[in-house]
Chain A
Amino acid sequence: MRRILVTGAATRTGGRLIQNLERTFDTKVFAVDDLDPIEDFSSPFERLSIDQLAFARFLLDVKPHTVVHLQTVDRSALLGATRAHEESTVGAQALFGAIGRCTTVRHVVVKSDGAVYGAGPRSPSILSTDSKPRRAGGRYQRDLEQMETFVREIAEQHDHVDYTILRLAPIFGPTIRNPLSAYLTLPGVPTLLGFDPRLQLISERDALDVFLHSIDNPVPGTFNVAGKGQLYLSRILRLGRRVPQPLPKRAFHAALRGVARSGIPLEKHTIALLKHGRVMDTSGMEDTLGFSPFLTCRQTTMVAYGRASAGIEL
């Protein structure tokens, strides 16, 4: 019996991952989050905040073989910057401390984000996992970096556990509701005048598959995960038949605050992304991890805007 613990089960990707794992043979899933799940699943769900010691005790009780850490999205808009920062860093400390103590854990799969590289005028155009990080992002970038450091330290100190860190490009799809996808599907999209960032995307199905793949094939290491190719923001909007609204800096930020009030809180790291863009080198994902996304960035965009069918069940 394979026992898998999933944090961040309340997110759409988390819920779907659990649904998919439930369908696989001889697998028992334990789901944890401090919010109510969006997706329905039958596995036991514990409503725990990962930065509490109760969570660490729960992990030690459950004795999982694999831990999937998905609770790494930026929740600063939802919880406030301080609380989100605390949950992220103290949560990572508690989680990986518990994993170090729990000798049944063989493998940890961690969802990181491309935001760990930041986005700024001094960022290289193409980021690989071995390029040294440049300080360009805000708190979220630091939190992610710290979380990744915890993972590496734990894996170094304890022989029984190894880790896979997946740095995902923004997830984009017809049913996912993250701030960036909500922003991209606005009828008129405010953009920063004179800037056209290069973006990489990953379809929601591929974002799910890469976790299923790395749970089944534990390849230790850090990998960038994104669909093949890259697109300028202007092209994404053109493919989606959205009208860009180029605004100068102040009007752009004012427009984003207006958008935030209507329920799409774009975090600082996403706004930086919309100015400078980010493209990651995904050769490690294809060669070492052995995963190739089903959809390219262009196809992801077409599918997300409902202009093409993916030919797959989402």
Chain B
Amino acid sequence: MSSRIPTPARLQELFRLQCFVFGKVHNPEAKRIGTKVLRESLKGPQIRNYYYPSKQILPTPAKLNKIFGNWTTVDPEEEHRLERNEYLRRKGKGAPKKLKEKKVIEKKRK
């Protein structure tokens, strides 16, 4: 009756097969093959998205309302600007109205 203890050669073969089955690098002599570099996960996307997402890529609420006709999304910054403009116009400190072409010509002649 043969002994039940496996030989070292057989154990090595088992280890090699284990690596083959589970997709690992077989490196029994522990040489520096650089697989450590390849094993690391890529962290580029995570590093790139550190700051707030860009507003240049995202559509504005006004654009969204235009695309989907029923939508009524509110842009607080834009609303604040319009309110301020109205307030200034009531005080008489608003931006001047656009001049028509005729008036511009008259001024130039003077």
Q: Do A and B bind each other?
A: no
